[in-house]
């Protein structure tokens, strides 16, 4: 996959997961396109998403589970699948840093339904999601 830096930033306004931001910073030239090698599982997911879109019989698929040790490339796969899905007109809801909800604590309010809501995080998530959808 080859993308201009600016296009990658537009496709991932929420930010990038995993080590991709660090890797991009190591590339000195800001004008050169980014060449990104795709993993086999990335291509498999992209093909399955195409089948979901094109063939009604595939629309009963439940989803996928990406599993692996830390540093095995799960976030990288998600970064690329999110870019591909947006380029192909899919509605994408993506949160690259879920651990933030566990580590950082903002103001918490309890709703009438008994849910605990972090308004600041919710607002940021919805704003980022609405940028590309």
Q: Examine residue 9 and state whether it is found in any structural domain, yes or no.
A: yes
Q: Examine residue 14 and state whether it is found in any structural domain, yes or no.
A: yes
Q: Examine residue 8 and state whether it is found in any structural domain, yes or no.
A: yes
Give pLDDT, residue 59.
Answer: 64
Give the Cα separation of 97 and 40 in Å (integer).
23
Q: Examine residue 114 and state whether it is found in any structural domain, yes or no.
A: no
In tens, the pLDDT along 88-130 reads: 988 899 888 877 777 777 777 888 888 877 778 888 888 888 8
Give pLDDT, residue 25.
Answer: 78
Residue 116: φ, ψ to 5° = -100, 120
Give pLDDT, residue 132.
Answer: 79
Q: Examine residue 108 and state whether it is found in any structural domain, yes or no.
A: no
Q: Where are the alpha helices (DSSP H) in the chain?
A: 5-11, 20-25, 40-54, 74-87, 99-103, 119-132
Tokens of 26: 């190591």
Count, residues in the chain: 133
pLDDT band of residue 16 (cuts 50, 70, 90) is: confident
44 dihedral zone (left: phi>0; alpha: psi -120 to 50; beta): alpha
How many domains, in total, are found in the chain? Answer: 1
Contact 131/15 with Cβ under 8 angstroms? no
Give residue 84's domain range: 2-96
Contact 96/75 with Cβ under 8 angstroms? yes
Give pLDDT, residue 81.
Answer: 92
The position carrying tokens 């950082």 is: 104
Q: Examine residue 46 and state whether it is found in any structural domain, yes or no.
A: yes
Q: Examine residue 42 and state whether it is found in any structural domain, yes or no.
A: yes
Torsion angle, alpha carbons of 20, 21, 27, 31, to 10 = 110
Q: Examine residue 53 and state whether it is found in any structural domain, yes or no.
A: yes
Q: What is the SS3 assignment for 2?
A: strand
In tens, the pLDDT along 38-79 reads: 889 999 989 988 888 887 766 666 677 888 898 888 888 999
């Amino acid at each position: 996959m080859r993308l201009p830096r600016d296009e990658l930033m537009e496709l991932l306004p929420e930010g990038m997961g995993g080590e991709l931001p660090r890797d991009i910073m190591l590339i000195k030239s800001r004008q050169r396109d980014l060449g990104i090698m795709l993993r086999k599982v990335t291509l498999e997911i992209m093909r399955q998403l195409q089948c979901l879109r094109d063939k009604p019989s595939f629309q009963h698929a439940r989803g996928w589970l990406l599993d692996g040790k830390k540093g095995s490339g799960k976030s990288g796969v998600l970064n690329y699948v999110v870019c591909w899905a947006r380029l192909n007109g899919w509605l994408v809801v993506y949160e690259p840093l879920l651990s933030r909800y566990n580590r950082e604590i903002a103001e918490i309010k309890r709703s009438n339904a008994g849910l605990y809501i972090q308004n600041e995080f919710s607002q940021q998530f919805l704003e980022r999601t609405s940028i590309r959808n």
